Structure 1
Amino acid sequence: MNRRVLILGMGGLFGSAAARAFRAAGWNVDRYHRGTDMAVAARGARWIVNAMNPPRYHDWDTQIPAITTQVLAAARDSGASVLVPGNVYVYGREPSPWRSDTPHHACTRKGRIRAEMEERYRDFAAEGHSVVILRGGDFIHAEAPETILNQVMLKDLRKGRITAMGKPDARRAYADLSDMSQVAVRLAETCDTAPGLVDLAFPGTTFSARELADELASQLGRKIAIKRFPWTMLSLASPFWELARELREMRYLYDMPHEIDGAEFRARFPDFKIKTLDRIVFEHLYLRGMKVVPNPGGTMSTQTSL
C-alpha cells in the first residue's frame, strides 16, 4: 500500500514532529516548499498533513483561508486524504472537559479563523473524502526551544523560578509532540479506508504551573518559585509586533482551567501510553543538562533514553 505523505509546514512544531514520526514508521516523507504548486507536490501522496501556518503569525485572516483552499484543491486533484492538527481555540469559553461534540464558540479572532477553516474540512469530508482533525492543547517538546513552555515558562529555571502565564493553579491541556505525532501516524494507517471525518481530541497531559513547579522541585531537589508573566509590559508592545498581539488575544486560556476528555481517544487507542508530567519534566531537564536528583527504584534516571 502507498506509504507516501506530503507534509506542509515541516519547519514548524507539529510538521517537524510529524516528519520524524512518519519516517520512523517507514513512510516516505515529502516536504512541501512554500510557494510551489501544491497540487503537483501532492500527486502520488496518500496523505497531506497540513501543519502550515503564516510565517511569523502574519495576516492569519487572509492566509489561513488561502492555505486551506490550496490544500483542498491539491487533495481533490491527487486523491490524497488530509490530516490537520487542530487546537482548542475553537471552543472559546465553553466549559471543559472538551470533546469532539463540544460546540465551537470561539471568542477570539484567531479562534474564529480556525473554526471557519475546520468547517471547510468538514464539508470536504461530507463530499466523500477522508479527513482527520487531530486536536490537542498547547504543544510541548523538550527539543523545541520555540514552545511557550521552553521559551517563557522555563526561561529562568536555572535561577530557581518559572513563569506562570496565568493563574498558577489553573490546570491546562498540553500535547507532547512526540506523543501526538505518533498518534497521527497510527491514524494515517487506517483512517483512509472509508471516507468521512475523524475528529479526535488527544487528551495529552494536564497540569498547572504550580504542579509543574512542584515536580521540578522534586526532581531538582530544591525549591522552585513562581513568578507571573508581565502581561502589562506586553500590552505596551508595538501594535505591529504580531506575536505580542497573538499572545494577548489568547490570554484567557492561561487563566481558564481546562482539559480534554480522553474517553474517545482511549476507546480508539486503549494501549497508548501518554507521557506523565514527571516524564515531561525529566526530558526538559535532561535536555538542559540539569542534574536530576536520583530516584532509587523510580522509572527514570539520567541514563534513560529519550
Structure 2
Amino acid sequence: MIRTILIIGATGGIGGEAALAFRAHGWQVRAMHRKPDMAARNFAWLGPIDWVKGDAMKTDDVVAAAAGADVVFHGANPPGYRNWKGTALPMLESSIAAAKAAGARLLFPGTVYNFGPDAFPLLGETSPQHPKTRKGAIRVAMETRLREASDEGVPVLIVRAGDFFGVHGGNNWFGQGLVKPGKPFRSVTYPGKRDAGHNWAFLPDLAETFARLVDRAGELGRFEVFHFGGHWFEKGVEIAEATRRAAGKPDAPIRRFPWFAVYLAAPFVETFREMLEMRYLWKVPVKLDNRKLIAFLGEEPHTPTEEALRLTLKGLGCLDEKSVGMGAVAEGRA
C-alpha cells in the first residue's frame, strides 16, 4: 500500500528535504502552496510531487489538502523571524485540524528556542522549558498545543534539532549569517562566542531521521519526542574552520558577526530585533542529547561534516568546480 504524506512548507529547507527523504522511502508526496503551478516550476528539483492549492493560515484549505494522507508534516515557518506571534500558532492549528480530520500522524521539527538557561548545557527530551524570549514562549505554546492534540487523538512526533544548514535551505543562520549565497566563497562569518559549543543540523540527515522514525510508527507513542544530535562543535567556531576546509580555502578569514550594526538597525527592522532576542544561544554551550534517538534507531543519520558543508556551499552557489575539487583533495577523496 502506498502511503501519502502532506507537507506544509515544502518550499522551505526542512520541508523540501522531507519531500526528498519520504519519497526515497516509497511515500507519495503531496505539498500545499498558494501558487501550486509556480511551485511546481520553481521546485522541479523536488521530483514528482502532487502540488495542491491552499494557504496554511486557512484551516479549510489544509484539511482539504490532507484528505487521505497518512502523515502531515508541519514545516511551515515564518521567514526571517517575522510575525511569529501572528502566524506560527494559527498555522499549527490548521495542521492539527487537518491531521485530526484525516486520521494522520502529525510531524513537527522542533528547536532549542523553548529552553532557557536553566536547562543548559545538555538538553534532554524532558528538560524543563523556561524560555526567556518571546519566540521561546511561542515554541512552548506550540508544543503544549501538540501534546493537547495528542490527547485529542492525533499522534504527534516531534524531533528537536539545532541550527539548520543544507543544500537547499538558505533561510537559516548558515545561509544568511555565515556565508553569502550566490557569491564565491572568500571568508566565513561566525556570530557566536568562539569557544561556546553549538549544535547544527544538516537538513537531509534530519529529514531522513523523520522518515526512519515514521517507518516504525507502530513502535511510537501517541506523543513522541526525540532529540537530533546532528553536528556538534565543542568550540562553536569549529564550524567556520570546517567550512573553509570544505571550500578548499583553509586560510580564508573568519570574521566576527557585526552585532553592533544589528543593534543600530534593530529599532527599524523586525528581523534584527528578533535576532538580538536569540543571541543568548550563541553565548553559551547548548547541546542536544540524542541518546534516546540512537537507542530507538540504532544510529542517527549522519553525513560527514566537511561533505555536508561542501554540499551546502555548492547548493548555495558559493563554490565553483575548482573549489569543489580542492575540497575533495583536502579530504583525500579525489
TM-score by length of 2: 0.82
**Any idea what SS the aligned residue of 1:104 has?**
coil
Please name the residue that 1:71 is paired with: 95
Is the Cα–Cα contact under 8 Å of residues 82 and 130 in structure 1 kept in the other structure?
A: yes
Look up the equivalent residue of 1:282 and give its one-letter code.
R
Deviations 1:90-111 (A, max 9, x none): 1121212211011111111001
CA distance in 1, matches of 2:285, 2:30: 38
Look up the equivalent residue of 2:87 and give its one-letter code.
Q
Deviations 1:35-78 (A, max 9, x none): 46211111100011111123553322132221222222222221
Aligned residues: 300
Please name the residue that 2:197 is paired with: 171
Q: Which structure 1 segments of 5+ residues have no match?
A: 302-306
**Any idea what SS the aligned residue of 1:48 has?**
strand
Q: How does 1:1-306 map to 2 (within 5 A)?
A: 1-32=1-32, 33-34=54-55, 35=58, 37-54=61-78, 56-93=80-117, 94-155=119-180, 160-191=186-217, 196-207=222-233, 208-218=235-245, 220=248, 222-237=250-265, 239-287=267-315, 288-289=319-320, 290=323, 291-292=325-326, 295=329, 298=332, 300-301=333-334
CA distance in 2, matches of 1:118, 1:38: 19
Deviations 1:228-251 (A, max 9, x none): 111111112153522212211111
Deviations 1:253-281 (A, max 9, x none): 11111211121111012244412322223
Is the Cα–Cα contact under 8 Å of residues 245 and 330 in structure 2 kept in the other structure?
A: no
CA distance in 2, matches of 1:260, 1:297: 27
Query: Cα 1:165–1:2, aligned 2, differ >3 Å: closer, same or farther?
Result: same
Query: Cα 1:2–1:203, aligned 2, differ >3 Å: closer, same or farther?
Result: same
Q: Which structure 2 segments of 5+ residues have no match?
A: 33-53
Query: Cα 1:68–1:150, aligned 2, differ >3 Å: closer, same or farther?
Result: closer
CA distance in 2, matches of 1:79, 1:112: 29
**Any idea what SS the aligned residue of 2:194 has?**
coil
Is the Cα–Cα contact under 8 Å of residues 91 and 103 in structure 1 kept in the other structure?
A: yes
Query: Cα 1:293–1:238, aligned 2, differ >3 Å: closer, same or farther?
Result: closer
Is the Cα–Cα contact under 8 Å of residues 213 and 224 in structure 1 kept in the other structure?
A: no
CA distance in 2, matches of 1:213, 1:7: 32
Is the Cα–Cα contact under 8 Å of residues 208 and 301 in structure 2 kept in the other structure?
A: no
Query: Cα 1:14–1:215, aligned 2, differ >3 Å: closer, same or farther?
Result: closer
Look up the equivalent residue of 2:226 and give its one-letter code.
L
Is the Cα–Cα contact under 8 Å of residues 141 and 178 in structure 1 kept in the other structure?
A: yes
- When structure 1 is superposed on structure 2, of 131-140 and 142-151 the one drifting more is 142-151
Please name the residue that 2:39 is paired with: none
Is the Cα–Cα contact under 8 Å of residues 96 and 259 in structure 1 kept in the other structure?
A: yes
RMSD of aligned Cα (Å): 2.4
Query: Cα 1:293–1:72, aligned 2, differ >3 Å: closer, same or farther?
Result: closer
CA distance in 1, matches of 2:78, 2:144: 19
